[in-house]
Amino acid sequence: MPLAPPDSGGELSERLGLKPLSPELLAEALTHASYVNESDATALSNDRLEFLGDAFLGMVVADNLYRTAPEVGEGQLTRMRAEVVRGTTLAAAARRLGIGEYLVLGRGEEAAGGRDRERNLAGAFEAIVGAIFLDHGYRAARSFVLRVLAEEITRVKAAGAMIDPKSSLQHLVQARWHEPPEYVTVEEATGESGRRFVVEVVVQERTLGRGSGTSKREAQQAAAREAVARLLEEGGEGA
């Protein structure tokens, strides 16, 4: 049996600040592959819309950064764009909009905490962007992206050197102590929401930052971000 539209009353479209999307496109955007695999082979997963939305997001964010940050070079622009469109950022935006409540998941994915899993939320956000582009056109999709990610875009333009926390920390630590920081995984666990890592960054036996994430890299970046903020509060690289 085909999947019924999960939002026929337009509640999610209202949360998104949009006129109602096509029920078929919205259902596709919210349907995780696990549901198709377990329950309904006739339904469409959001994989293709995710692909389209990912490309559209990258283009819109790149265009905005190019136009509003004329003093920034190519390498920095690339890092800024990557920061805005990375999975953690998109998942946070999806949580603000309550998208997880509307995901259509297979029983196994539901039981494993998939409704709040970063990968699922980020993918659904991208798929919704793709659906908006197809249903309402370029201008509406661009306006949605810039409105919903306005905070992240503003922050990344203001953050400067903190766009890549590990590189920034490397620079600050080398300048002050002439040695690289050490990243230590202090916790690794697998729970209902998937794998979780906790990492501390240490310099000369001093813990400068602590971060967590669904991968070691994500946890390291979070720890480095906290460490950079601490060092800058203490007086930056000239201290």
Check whether residue 207 and residue 154 sit in a common domain. no
Give the model's confidence band at 96: pLDDT under 50 very low, under 70 low, under 90 confident, else very high: very high
pLDDT one-digit tens code per residue, 198-218: 999 999 999 999 999 888 988
DSSP secondary structure letters along 121-175: HHHHHHHHHHHHHHHH-HHHHHHHHHHHTHHHHHHHHHHGGGGSHHHHHHHHHHH
In a domain, 190, yes or no: yes
In a domain, 1, yes or no: no
What is the average pLDDT value for the chain, to the nearest integer? 86
Q: Residue 143: give the domain boundaries.
A: 11-158
Length of the chain equals 239
Residues classed as catalytic: 54, 126
* Mean pLDDT along residues 6-15: 69
Among 48-62, 76-90, 141-155, 195-209, the least confident range: 76-90
Provide the whole-model pTM.
Answer: 0.68
Last residue of a domain, one of 158, 193, 212: 158
CB distance 198 to 215 below 8 Å: no
pLDDT for position 40: 62
User: What CATH number does residue 39 fall under?
Assistant: 1.10.1520.10
Check whether residue 71 and residue 146 sit in a common domain. yes
Check whether residue 33 and residue 92 sit in a common domain. yes
In a domain, 218, yes or no: yes
